[in-house]
Structure 1
Amino acid sequence: MTTTPLPRSAFAAFASATAICALALTGCGTTQTDAPADAQSQSSASCQDDSTTTSTDPVTVTDDTGHEVSLDKPATKVVSLEWQYTEDLLTLCVDPVAAADVKGFTTWDTAEALPESTTDVGTRQEPNVESILSADPDLVIIETANRKDKIVGQLEDQGIPVMAMAGANGDDPVKYMKDTFTTVAEATGRTERAEAVLSDFDAELQDAKKTIAEAKPETTEFVYFDGWVNGSNVALRPFGQGSLIGELGEELGLKNAWTGEVDPAYGLGQTDIEGIAKVGEANFFYTGTEDPESEDYVDLLKKNDIWANIPAVKEDRVTAFPAGIWTFGGPKSSEQVLNAYVDALTK
């Protein structure tokens, strides 16, 4: 099990704290696994019966940099350079003409299934501009808070409209997830579909909250983390206040017990076994994934005496969330998170 890869714009913010991780995609953060066997079967079944309308009117949307993107008609040939937007497009029943890191998306984000024919335009950190241009897009969505980003400039020089999104907002990550989804929907004329999806999400949230309340778990405090092996040691990354997965837990009536320093946008912290042992009686949840080519940091945790004496460990309250839940995703990934919380606390 390896640390969850980071979104594109999170790399710079987290680089100093995770220099040992070498951009989180080499050695400690990459995954070489094949896609889950049932990944293709997890495509949004609701798209097959979708009856919502698609606008054909001109579109003007404002991206997270304050830049207005104006289109004569909604975008239909979209290139996504970050997994969240790839997922959002698929949920909106819009297949991207190309996407960054197709294999990685298929492994780490099972909320939606990306068509096998989708063109891969390279990594999320350094996409191939020529490949993007070859897809002849009418819109490119990139994750960056900097309008002067090199990729943005190269694409706009070729007349390609670019929508730049920050990727996260630690002040209210659940609202930001919804707002981002709505913005992608506006750009593609799929606002009616977005409204239906978000209504379903809100209903799922209320149902999950009720189920957990009725279960009366022994403790509602939790810490969610992932980690990696650093030599003979284990580095842990708790998802604190401002993280999407942490705030989803709090929406369910739970309390995030991690109070250590975190990245202000993504709510990500860094600690070790001694640090995470200080959270008291909290339940432990962590990112579940399979990577046979990497050393399992959870196995190393189990060999540590400090870990063994943490209340959650002693009382068997440590739960891996199912593999393939993208912790920085859209409404459908967030629904997977809600279901994972419910399963963990009602087992």
Structure 2
Amino acid sequence: MTTLPRKSLVALASATAICSLALAGCGTTDTEAQDAETSTASTSCADDSTATSEDPVTLTDDTGEEISLDKPAAKVVSLEWQYTEDLLSLCVNPAAVADAKGFTTWDTAEKLPEDTTDVGTRQEPNVETILSADPDLVIIEATSRDDKISKRLEEQDIPVMAMTGADGKDPVKYMKDTFSTVAEATGRTERAESVLADFDTKVEESKKALADADLPTKDFVYFDGWVNGSNVAIRPFGQGSLFGELGEELGLNNVWDGEVDPAYGLGQTDIEGISKVGDANFFYTGTEDPESEDYVELLKKNDIWANIPAVKDDRTYAFPAGIWTFGGPKSSEQALDAYVDALTK
């Protein structure tokens, strides 16, 4: 079971469809799907020897706001899973996070300490709980600073760093730049350089592994979906999507050419629409939610689906549950592993 990840995607589906999902957006998280192995940097945080800066910080967030801190933020509240993951990859335990249970379920790239304060949902976090964490910095996802959360925090002189969450022009670069910005805010730039070097190495190793494989086709489509009444709604990750671009980094060819939103590269279609992509391999988000109908099981009952070349040739591959499709470098490494494992094993 999946959900649309960001408020900016509301135009792609009805409110009912959005709230029927669980990975983000209205996301309920009553599931124990945690199949993806936790990813770690080449040097774990327990053994990390990279320096933490104590110098004053001045940076500009995605809304163009300049943020000045007397010293790097040590007590950071994260209101989106991507920034929670990024902080943990930087060896910074968040002072508080939004939807801790959801993060633990759907983002297995990093392990969140069990005693981390939960400030509520990502859509409507509790401002009083945020303030009680006495943060040096709050990281939110927003395209402007007009949202009520930012305004209330700034009224209390709490620095707010607003990030837009995605950039369809170059999603991999944006993911890395966001990670580096979080590192700059927390004085962990040296650690960020190490993690990003690991990611770049993973890309090259994975690319070579697929180049050495005898693939029947390099065309692919990545998608997730959900059950909408008696039908399956499918969300392809097209041009401008992080997971689509990660596949192309490996030399694969993302053939979804339908309309997508400009920030996240996500489209919307049905079984008939996804059947028109030709001979492409199918990759999809693997999920296990006992409280909702499995969209993949419903797909298997459809005659159109059964006659798609990838389905007939057994070239449909579920990514392990718990790989966050909108995460940071460590989730992206999990995705690279999943692509390679699917096509070479």
TM-score of the superposed pair, with normalisation by structure 2 = 0.95
Give per-residue Cα distances to partners, 1:10-48, cap 9 Å, x unaligned.
223334524331445479953311363897x76666111
Match of 1:128 in 2: 126
Q: For 2:106, give the aligned amino acid.
A: W
Structure 2's unaligned 5+ residue stretches are none
CA distance in 1, matches of 2:297, 2:127: 41
For 1:243 and 1:335, the matched residues in 2 are separated by: 15
Asked if structure 2 preserves the Cα contact closer than 8 Å seen for 1:5 and 1:30, the reply is no
Task: Spell out the pairing of 1:331-346 with structure 2 (5 A cutoff).
Answer: 331-346=329-344
Matched residue type, 2:166: A
Residue in structure 1 matched with residue 137 of structure 2 by the alignment: 139
2:95 equivalent in structure 1: 97
The runs of 5 or more residues in structure 1 that have no matched partner are none
Please give the alpha-carbon distance, in whole angstroms, between the structure 1 residues aligned to 2:124 and 2:174: 25
1:1-347 equivalent positions in 2, closer than 5 A: 2-6=1-5, 10-23=6-19, 25=21, 30-34=28-32, 36=34, 46-347=44-345
CA drift at 1:163? 0.2
Question: Offset of 1:340 from its aligned partner?
Answer: 0.3
CA distance change for structure 1 residues 108 and 153 in 2, over 3 Å: closer, same or farther? same
Deviations 1:253-295 (A, max 9, x none): 0010100000100001000000000000000000012101111
- Tell me the CA shift for residue 92 of structure 1: 0.1
Of residues 10-19 and 105-114 in structure 1, the stretch that sits farther from structure 2 once superposed is: 10-19
CA 1:25 to 1:300, structure 2 compared with 1: closer, same or farther past 3 Å? closer
TM-score (norm 1): 0.95
Q: How many Å apart are 1:315 and its aligned residue?
A: 0.2
Return closer, same or farther for 1:310/1:322 CA change in 2, 3 Å cut-off.
same
Match of 2:152, SS state, is helix
Q: Residues 29 and 79 from structure 1, CA distance in 2 versus in 1: closer, same or farther, beyond 3 angstroms?
A: closer
Letter matched to residue 115 of structure 2: S
Identity %: 75
Q: In structure 1, what is the Cα distance between the partners aligned to 2:254 and 2:121?
A: 32
Work out the CA distance in 2 between the residues paired with 1:17 and 1:273. Answer: 16
**CA-atom RMSD, angstroms?**
1.7
SS in 2 for 1:215: coil
Cα distance in 2 for residues equivalent to 1:120 and 1:256: 37
What CA distance in whole angstroms lies between the structure 2 residues aligned with 1:22 and 1:5?
Answer: 6
Q: What is the aligned length?
A: 342
Asked if the contact 2:78–2:84 (Cα under 8 Å) also holds between the matched residues in 1, the reply is: yes
Rounded to whole Å, the distance in 2 between the matches of 1:322 and 1:5 is 18
C-alpha displacement at 1:165, in angstroms? 0.2
Distance 1:211 1:37 in 2: 23
